Structure 1
């Protein structure tokens, strides 16, 4: 029996082996150079790819058979093969950019020229030729797109639609359909949790609202990165990059970036891949010593006096703590009106520590990214099952309301997806661990407090000061000189940077949670997401109809350090459903697309997001496409907008404003004027018994009780944008050169914009009342005079309506017999109705931007080069950290590359910001210097 089974197995295997025939061929580019990485597919469903020498081998069962050779950015070639002896030499020609196929705009394949909305993209060819250090930063060379540098590792995408900052919560980033959002912050850390450069198939960006198809938070754009499938792209590839960065404040330092991609097709039913990426460099040093009006305030112009009485440096922390000299005098028992009047306008700030001092010399920025996937095609149809996971370990710097230093932060994601030509169903779980993350501003404040708390500090200051100005002192000093001398005497024994005591104190503080008086932030939050889509293209002839939906559940777990989750995880859910109908008319020249989506979150009413677009292909070759689109986008409040309860320093609480959150945020405070009086305030007090920040400022100037104004607050709700877009894409022959044009104008109407509102809650008394409640030492107005108030930064919506408008125009062509030339201009501006005088629009976008690209992918055999230049004008950047002007700048990047086919290698030498002048991408972050690099890519 065993012999018979073995014989049967042998016969079956022999039949299988002999029933398949190998077909071999070569793929070349237009210059007849070997073309690696092209996808080769038979009409029987077999796939492979060309190697570095352009060679491919693929098995077929019978002849004739059609072989398709393709790659994004090149024209697809179909070859009819009648026997294994056929001579297969395939030449792939670059396609027009407008003819390249994209998916993101309508969730269905279509040419760029047919897209109903604005779309930008890059593929393998653009990545190869980019002068940027990596493909993600090269996105900043696209029309209307900017890349903001949060830090050395973390970059965020901005478009000329505006309202971007390092907290890029209005922009979604997807990798193979899964969000790379870090749960604690609701936005992506650039490409740290993205894709290995070797695994990038293409990148698509929709710079406008995309909520109709992609749901909540696809408010200001969406980035979709697609990776290579191991069934289609197998093999081993590696890259090595190294070079130096230069910065005026830090000098020169070396960086490294290495990656490997392993992909193998084990059979027609099973394939697998794994990617590993590691980068290490030195952080751009944040060393802005300019004086400011405080956190979220403005720069004070002029040369900063770092030893001044009221100095609050931008990147200096701990100096935020200050008291008016009049307040110090009252605590010391001074009642003489003339003397108090002489003290008016003088504030005494504690000395702080520069960010570089708190880092203790550790300015490393590292990122380790690993992902792996198992791919199954178990049946003969188009079904594919993917099981994948991704992990990221990060030493990093984040810039938000404060500066955050991360060591050993960890993000993980697990995904299961089933998909076919017309459908997909995917689910994934993302979770983060904050690791050793600490707040630099809190560290500076805590460091001062560890040495000498505020009460003792200002008590000692008062003793020294009044001796120095006493009429009985024969060497009495003028008031300001006496204040400087008194502060100097008190701080004689202050912890000094570089000492063992200083290092020990910083280490202890950064390892102690905020709730225990330190600066460490704890978080293990995550979310579970499921989404699906079905396209009825093969079921319905009338039109292209799609339906889909998504579900997400959040798990907030900070142990009460960031969220109000002291008593356990906070969970909430949201879901959405949508449908899209697309119909072509008039000989397929006219395309109508209509989409509507409904989304609902636990804490908010449901939102409908409609989109309608019409496009028309004119011209004999249909190479002039005109389009108009209207769509509504919305953004749900982030997890922090809803549930944050974070105390930053001794006098400021950040508070999310869904109703259930208010009672959970409690803060115990002790009166500065009545040291035996202690009470507990909550978020409910911020809503029911608080003063507006603007009225507190007026009161400080005038002292008139009538200037004080009770704050009226609303719970946070989703923000809405209604967007109109008119565009043209086309190809025009000018002077025997084919020019591709892309022009678009937009007008957006924003309502219910999510912002913050600062209010002040008195420790005792009732707002705008002179009555003294039972058990209180004084009334609410006295609390203001005594500085017995707690500032709450409330997440809420503004009443102001904001309109944004602008346009962008660009072209690409080839000149001088094969040189690539491209240029673009983008304009953007906004207007606000001014209903809310306390609202900061934070448009944060230059009004004018110009970009130029020039290069040749094959100037001569195996050699190419590329140059990119970007210019933008000055603009106001507003944030929770600081408001400041970002100066006008011009940035020049360039690279040369040389391929060595025998080594299956491409070498590249390049540099960024070749002008050498450091510039600021975001106020308060490190200045960006130059990078010079060499890279070696091996494709096998």
Structure 2
């Protein structure tokens, strides 16, 4: 009630009432929380805008321990998190939380608290069976199952342990978006829609920009793309997750507890960054030590990540095409067949179709033994110019300590020490990432080091917080926090936080806060070194990209330049050299530079009240305003070469020489660089939540959330994307025992359409709404709970972001013992 910032909490009762197959799915029903769904087994949490499918701006903790995959920089859903049998409560802090947590949590964090074995011993088992893909013409209905077990036991008054295990299997949601990303590739020749030989459907790979060639046919220039494969051709949508954990707790005295926890997970699902990936035999494990006392909390943990047999779907499709026939040969066959077809009197569009059929003769056909064998081989080649493997091994080591100095130095009535109305909290932490370079995804760029030697990347930080409770009855609470963090590659950064809470009565609480936050680049953003579809993606730190920023030109300007050259040749009667000279002024030098930390400045005000007799009506309203700068984003820029595979042109080379080089694929080096947007972005929003605990056990709640991109200064198109609906709301109703142990839960959520901007695809995500429902029956003896339910009852398929899968209904039945 008196938190100085917005906090959303789900307790055990709320989790039982939630009409969702898991507690993690139920988080979509929390006020202010946005969920993106790249996969049935991989959901991404976000709050307060600027969401993406690898949300490194939102931290996810389990008992205070970060459960991210180190090289990704964010969590993979809940694969390293607790099971539904072990979850005790969930707290979500939307908005900047970096001043205290320092975990790049500039959009917020979620902390999952688990059940302590001292307080919750015994055996619990849950079996869930379900079905999805109902009325899906692509695959037909598919089964879904999840089995969970928890066992906890006391070993005397000082020792206790618990073990958990969960095994999930199902069939993933499918990405089938056929929208053409290059609809105007041949507009100057009148070839549009299905006749466009450079079509690039969203959920088809191997026909992207790096898979297109400009062919001169019949005196005109045509963009022609390789045929490509649908996503469902190059991925096995069967998914599974096996996760497990064990914890040993020790209480040397009544006020101190020590715990060691081990967590592990092996899983298969689909993941999306700039491309879509099949995560196969992916493994995460974590060791953690914690100490808790009234004065000191300390923890240290070590996380290991192994990407197993995962692979890049785009690279797999591209190299399936090229391993059947190289681009040069395919283009030659296409050209010969086009000329032959046109000579036989066929139309231009028909000649293109005939040319593709001829050039594709002998191509690997999806589903055939030869296709499967070649895909398997490519998925094990760790070079995306030749194969598709994702082979990363990364570790994370973290240690932190926090001390309540106020509790330690409290003088009380005896005098001396800290007065009772004051609090002081201090903390410090250190984190280091370790990557074993694989030569494709990561190398060690440090001078004097072998490129395959271990790469380390870390930071150290700490904070001090002072608080005071003032006015009669301690009605006013003030806190001041200052945090400092230092990363090897960046100067010392400071994050201040100022908060005030005024409580005229225990039932009415007004809050106001100001804070700032930094986010250091993740491992991938800083150090990536990926040959990806003839475009090299490199990290934004100078040690990785020295010289590239200064010598490159924006791909967006190169595309416009080459389109104008094609237009001049096809409709203007110009020769190629004349068209190059006439349009070279369209080329724009890359204005971006080496990566810096992101920064946000945030104001928040709110009001929380417990109304009606007994405080049965809880109201919570908040409003925030943020200013962001230095968004970490990607820019594609090409370096002109003096000759094919030759050195870069000199920075002062004549523009005509540069333009000639950038008009030919062979004389340009293509890069995708991590950098910072030059825009300063302002956004604001707020939310209102009401929860009414009706006498008799009925729980009703309603919430609405508003998010608005106020303005963007110096817009350069590289923002990470607002990617947030302006309006969303949730309506919930539930009762645990409405009649003779029979309970139910209902939730309806809806959101407006919004513009989605990602590196993969940009456009409008349609509005959608859905009803989730569950019916439960509880037997106190022998502690059995039966539950049937459905997510998206109407089975009306929707997408949560562009490029992602279509999500339908999931219908399930559960039986739980012992909880």
| Superposition TM-score, scaled by structure 1 size | 0.79
Encode CA deviations 1:751-810: one digit per residue, 9 max, x unaligned: 1111112211122263786659xxxxx933211122332321111111110011011001
Alignment of 1:616-655 (within 5 A): 616-619=502-505, 622-650=506-534, 652-655=535-538
Q: Name the stretch that deviates more: 510-519 or 404-413.
A: 510-519
Q: Cα offset for 1:153?
A: 0.5
Is the counterpart of residue 602 in structure 1 residue 478 in structure 2?
A: no
Q: Match for 1:690 among 544, 552, 557?
A: 552
Whole-Å separation in 1 of the counterparts to 2:63 and 2:306:
23
Confirm or deny: 8 A CA contact 1:392 1:410 kept in the other structure.
yes
Q: Cα offset for 1:477?
A: 3.3
- State the partner residue of 1:524: 393
Confirm or deny: 8 A CA contact 2:437 2:452 kept in the other structure.
no
Confirm or deny: 8 A CA contact 1:656 1:794 kept in the other structure.
yes
- State the partner residue of 2:140: 251
Confirm or deny: 8 A CA contact 1:708 1:768 kept in the other structure.
no
| Superposition TM-score, scaled by structure 2 size | 0.91
Whole-Å separation in 2 of the counterparts to 1:870 and 1:305:
36
Is the counterpart of residue 144 in structure 1 residue 32 in structure 2?
A: yes
What residue ranges of structure 2 are gaps of 5+ in the alignment? 186-190, 411-417, 445-450, 565-579, 643-647
Confirm or deny: 8 A CA contact 2:641 2:649 kept in the other structure.
no
Q: Name the stretch that deviates more: 490-499 or 861-870.
A: 490-499
Q: Say if 1:463 and 1:387 are closer, same or farther in 2 by CA, change over 3 A.
A: same
- State the partner residue of 2:163: 274
Confirm or deny: 8 A CA contact 1:322 1:348 kept in the other structure.
no
Q: Cα offset for 1:697?
A: 2.8
Alignment of 1:334-373 (within 5 A): 340=219, 343-344=220-221, 346-359=222-235, 362-373=236-247
Is the counterpart of residue 908 in structure 1 residue 795 in structure 2?
A: no
Q: Say if 1:807 and 1:516 are closer, same or farther in 2 by CA, change over 3 A.
A: closer
- State the partner residue of 1:931: 810
- State the partner residue of 1:824: 703
Alignment of 1:101-140 (within 5 A): 113-140=1-28
Whole-Å separation in 1 of the counterparts to 2:520 and 2:211:
39
Confirm or deny: 8 A CA contact 1:260 1:276 kept in the other structure.
yes
Q: Cα offset for 1:358?
A: 1.5
Whole-Å separation in 2 of the counterparts to 1:915 and 1:526:
43
Q: Match for 1:384 among 236, 257, 261?
A: 257
Encode CA deviations 1:509-556: one digit per residue, 9 max, x unaligned: 112222671101111111110001010233234211111010011101
- State the partner residue of 1:375: 249
Whole-Å separation in 1 of the counterparts to 2:210 and 2:351:
17
Alignment of 1:196-275 (within 5 A): 196-247=83-134, 248=136, 249-275=138-164
Is the counterpart of residue 889 in structure 1 residue 754 in structure 2?
A: no
Alignment of 1:304-315 (within 5 A): 305=193, 308-315=196-203
Confirm or deny: 8 A CA contact 1:767 1:781 kept in the other structure.
no
- State the partner residue of 1:442: 315
Q: Say if 1:496 and 1:305 are closer, same or farther in 2 by CA, change over 3 A.
A: farther
Whole-Å separation in 1 of the counterparts to 2:192 and 2:56:
34
Q: Match for 2:300 among 421, 427, 433?
A: 427
Structure 1 counterpart SS, 2:85: helix
Whole-Å separation in 2 of the counterparts to 1:896 and 1:640:
44
Q: Cα offset for 1:817?
A: 4.8
Confirm or deny: 8 A CA contact 2:698 2:734 kept in the other structure.
yes
Confirm or deny: 8 A CA contact 2:315 2:385 kept in the other structure.
no
Confirm or deny: 8 A CA contact 2:316 2:375 kept in the other structure.
yes
Whole-Å separation in 2 of the counterparts to 1:770 and 1:715:
23
Encode CA deviations 1:606-638: one digit per residue, 9 max, x unaligned: 11111111011124xx21111100011111111
Whole-Å separation in 2 of the counterparts to 1:125 and 1:815:
14
Q: Match for 2:477 among 591, 616, 621?
A: 591
Is the counterpart of residue 715 in structure 1 residue 594 in structure 2?
A: yes
Whole-Å separation in 2 of the counterparts to 1:138 and 1:250:
27
Confirm or deny: 8 A CA contact 2:507 2:609 kept in the other structure.
yes
Encode CA deviations 1:94-130: one digit per residue, 9 max, x unaligned: xxxxxxxxxxxxxxxxxxx100000001121111111
Alignment of 1:405-804 (within 5 A): 405-469=278-342, 473=343, 475-514=344-383, 517-538=386-407, 539-540=409-410, 541-542=418-419, 543-565=422-444, 566-586=451-471, 587-619=473-505, 622-650=506-534, 652-662=535-545, 684-702=546-564, 703=580, 704-733=583-612, 738-764=616-642, 766=649, 779-787=657-665, 788-804=667-683
Encode CA deviations 1:713-760: one digit per residue, 9 max, x unaligned: 3210111101000100012339x9942110000000111111112211
Q: Cα offset for 1:321?
A: 5.5
Whole-Å separation in 1 of the counterparts to 2:435 and 2:427:
27
Larger radius of gyration: 1
Confirm or deny: 8 A CA contact 1:279 1:366 kept in the other structure.
yes
Q: Name the stretch that deviates more: 782-791 or 898-907.
A: 782-791
Structure 2 counterpart SS, 1:128: helix
Q: Match for 1:153 among 21, 27, 41?
A: 41
Q: Cα offset for 1:815?
A: 4.3
Confirm or deny: 8 A CA contact 1:269 1:376 kept in the other structure.
yes
Confirm or deny: 8 A CA contact 1:156 1:190 kept in the other structure.
yes
Confirm or deny: 8 A CA contact 2:211 2:318 kept in the other structure.
no
- State the partner residue of 2:567: none
Whole-Å separation in 2 of the counterparts to 1:163 and 1:838:
14
Q: Say if 1:737 and 1:391 are closer, same or farther in 2 by CA, change over 3 A.
A: closer
Whole-Å separation in 2 of the counterparts to 1:643 and 1:933:
43
Confirm or deny: 8 A CA contact 1:919 1:927 kept in the other structure.
yes
Whole-Å separation in 1 of the counterparts to 2:161 and 2:211:
63
State the aligned residue count. 771
Structure 1 counterpart SS, 2:351: helix
Whole-Å separation in 2 of the counterparts to 1:412 and 1:818:
41
Q: Say if 1:815 and 1:228 are closer, same or farther in 2 by CA, change over 3 A.
A: closer
Whole-Å separation in 2 of the counterparts to 1:836 and 1:780:
27
Confirm or deny: 8 A CA contact 2:679 2:719 kept in the other structure.
no
Structure 1 counterpart SS, 2:133: strand
Structure 1 counterpart SS, 2:406: coil
Structure 2 counterpart SS, 1:492: coil
Q: Cα offset for 1:898?
A: 0.8
Whole-Å separation in 2 of the counterparts to 1:630 and 1:167:
27
Confirm or deny: 8 A CA contact 1:290 1:304 kept in the other structure.
no
Structure 2 counterpart SS, 1:449: helix
Confirm or deny: 8 A CA contact 2:513 2:605 kept in the other structure.
yes
Whole-Å separation in 1 of the counterparts to 2:810 and 2:558:
47
Confirm or deny: 8 A CA contact 1:245 1:255 kept in the other structure.
yes
Whole-Å separation in 1 of the counterparts to 2:72 and 2:489:
18
Structure 2 counterpart SS, 1:844: coil
Q: Name the stretch that deviates more: 390-399 or 284-293.
A: 284-293
- State the partner residue of 2:70: 183
Whole-Å separation in 2 of the counterparts to 1:147 and 1:646:
29
Q: Cα offset for 1:878?
A: 1.3
